[in-house]
Structure 1
Amino acid sequence: MLSSKEFSVGTLSDAKPFSLMLPRGGYEATFLIGQIEGGPAAVFLGGNYNFVFFETSAASNWAGLLIPNIRVEVDEASVFDPRSVYGKVGAVVRSGTEIVIYAKRDGSYGGLSKVTLETGLLEINPQLSAGFTKWQLVNGEGLEKRVLLEVDADKVETGN
């Protein structure tokens, strides 16, 4: 359950990076809001456009519950070397001081892009990174921590 202070209701154009948008009904979608090229971007989680993203600055047609300040937790048993499997859609990758998700740009037939999900992490060796196919989005800390969404990129179909 969410406390009243942990969410608001709004559109994707209102959503700040590192938020989760949950649908209020059958015609809305679940989005993970990250950052790409300095601006907010929404990644579909589920449905026909799973792991497809688009910039959100003018996306006032998508609405739902907005949950800010979400964090990514990874299943260490699903770790892989991103250099050996470049661009696994739906996987999250820890490199440098950030965590990104590999997603497809809406309307693009090319490769995958990296949408930033967390920044400001402790610096790691810049030549090394780790990818994960199983991960979850959490809110809160300690006894207040809740798992909001679990993802297994190996088992989910992708869209677009």
Structure 2
Amino acid sequence: MLSLNEFTIGNVGSAKPLSLILPSRKYDETILVGRAGEVPTAVFLSGQHHGQLFESLGNTSWGGIIIPNIRVEIDEASAVDVEYAGVSSLFVIRLDTRLVIVAKGEKAFARSNLVTLHDNLVPESEFRAAFAGWQIVVGEGSNKRIVWSQTGA
């Protein structure tokens, strides 16, 4: 359950990066908002557009329950080496100073794109790791709740 101060209702175009949007109507989908460069960019986590991204600024076609300031936690047991394993849509990758999610472009057969979820992390070496399993949480300590999860493949 969400506390009243943990969510709003609205369109994806009004959601800031690091927001999760849960469906509130029959045809809405679960959407995660991050950034591609400086542009707010959304990734479908469910539905027929699963794994696709789109620029979200000003978009009024999709909406729902907006949960801002979410946190992403990774399942360390689902780590794969980015250099040797195939990484598909909805994997999260820790690289340089960022945590990104892999998504597909809007057009059919478009190449995958990286959408930044967190940046300004402690710089690491040239090594990178991808994670098939991860979750989105709100709250802290005993009030922490999982609001969405991606199971490792």
TM range (shorter): over 0.9
1:135 aligns with 2:134: yes
Indicate if the aligned counterparts of 2:8 and 2:65 stay in contact, CA closer than 8 A.
yes
Structure 1 residues 148 and 43: alpha-carbon distance in aligned structure 2, compared to 1, 3 A threshold:
same
Match of 1:157 in 2: none
Q: Which runs of 5+ in 1 are unaligned?
A: 155-160
Per-residue displacement from partner, 1:14-73 (whole Å, max 9, x unpaired)? 000010001112111110001002111110011111110100112112121110111111
Give the AA of the match of 2:128: S
Unaligned runs of 5+ in 2: none
Alpha-carbon distance between aligned partners in 2 of 1:91 and 1:5, rounded to the nearest angstrom: 30
Q: Which moved more, 1:108-117 or 1:10-19?
A: 108-117
Percent of residue pairs bearing the same amino acid type: 39
Shift of 1:153: 5.4
The correspondence of residues 1-160 of structure 1 with structure 2, limited to 5 A, is 1-125=1-125, 127-152=126-151, 154=153
Distance across 2 between alignment mates of 1:86 and 1:77? 17
Secondary structure of 1:48's counterpart equals coil
User: Structure 1, residues 65-91: CA drift from partner, whole Å, max 9, x if none?
Assistant: 110111111111110111112542210
Report SS of the residue matched to 2:13: coil
Amino acid in structure 1 at the alignment position of 2:59 = A
Using structure 2 for the length normalisation, give the TM-score. Answer: 0.94
Tell me the CA shift for residue 124 of structure 1: 1.3
Structure 1: distance between partners of 2:62 and 2:78:
32
Counterpart Cα distance in 2 of 1:40 and 1:3: 25
C-alpha separation in 2, matches of 1:3 and 1:121: 29
Confirm or deny: 8 A CA contact 1:91 1:132 kept in the other structure.
yes
Equivalent pair of 1:42/1:54 in contact (CA under 8 Å): yes
Tell me the secondary structure at the aligned position of residue 13 of structure 1.
helix
Query: What do you get for the CA RMSD once the two structures are aligned?
Result: 1.3
Determine if contact 1:89/1:153 at 8 Å carries over to the other structure: no
State how many pairs are aligned: 153
